[in-house]
Amino acid sequence: MKEIEWYHTKDGFTVKGQFFSPISMVAHIERLNGVKVLAKKSWGMTDDFEAFFEYKGHRFIVETPFVEVEVAAFDKRIPKEIIKEVLEHAANYSWVNPVTFIWAMLRYFILPFNPPAKK
């Protein structure tokens, strides 16, 4: 497992690490019971990446604005304990094996670009 750093931001937290891709972070977060990946945006020749997931009825985003992987909540009223659960899970990042990584890439490839509207 590679060493990663994380710190709180205004809307969530940022995980810094050069040795994993955002897809492996989303695949790792998906291991948290109850997470559902809703949508993914990425472009072949760019560093832009966004993935949207839901946990306990709250929406989160994983994105790569620069070299870091950022995870943030959409709803500013999200309970702190739910943010903490996701943060701690992401901070305990564990290696995603190549088969899981490839399977995640294929599954995420067919997801819509935008998450469905909340009801």
Q: Which residues, other chains included, contact 108 with Cβ-Cβ below 8 Å and sequence gap of 6+?
A: 23, 26, 37, 40, 51
pLDDT recorded at residue 99: 93
CA distance 72 to 31: 17
**pLDDT tens-digit profile of 53-63?**
999 999 998 88
Q: What is the pTM of this model?
A: 0.81
pLDDT recorded at residue 89: 87
Which of the two residues, 66 and 36, has the higher pLDDT score?
36
